[in-house]
Amino acid sequence: MDSKYTVDYQDGIIRIELMGRLDANNAPALQDELKQMAGKPVSKMLFFAKDLEYVSSAGLRALIFAKQKIGVDANAFLIGAQEAVLNVIKMSGLDNFLEIQDKE
């Protein structure tokens, strides 16, 4: 599977769909795209991860950046993540600010 992502902003909601791998190859580009959301009102950040197979420390940094710099007051959700990705999220403690959901 190709590693890619999409970012969409509408009505205060940022929808981020993650596919393949979120690692040092594409996490910086995701972070750069998220920087463009700075200053916009954000009430929710939705990370759709059903097609995400792997997340590295660089990918975790991109998620942390999104929450701390873009959606500091927003509710953040990780939706549909596979077990391997969930394990990394939980081991890193990111489940403290990401609400885990099985599906949308």
Q: Tokens standing for 2?
A: 């190709």
- Are residues 89 and 39 in contact, defined by beta-carbon separation less than 8 angstroms? no
Asked: is 4-101 a CATH 3.30.750.24 domain? The reply is yes
Domains of the chain by residue range: 4-101
Please give the model's pTM, rounded to 2 decimal places: 0.92
pLDDT in tens, 10-62: 999 999 999 999 999 999 999 999 999 988 999 999 999 999 999 999 999 99
Q: Is the pLDDT of residue 104 over 80?
A: no
| Sequential DSSP letters for the chain | ---EEEEEEETTEEEEEEEEEESTTTHHHHHHHHHTTTTS--SEEEEEEEEEEEE-HHHHHHHHHIIIII-TTSEEEEES--HHHHHHHHHHTGGGTEEEES--
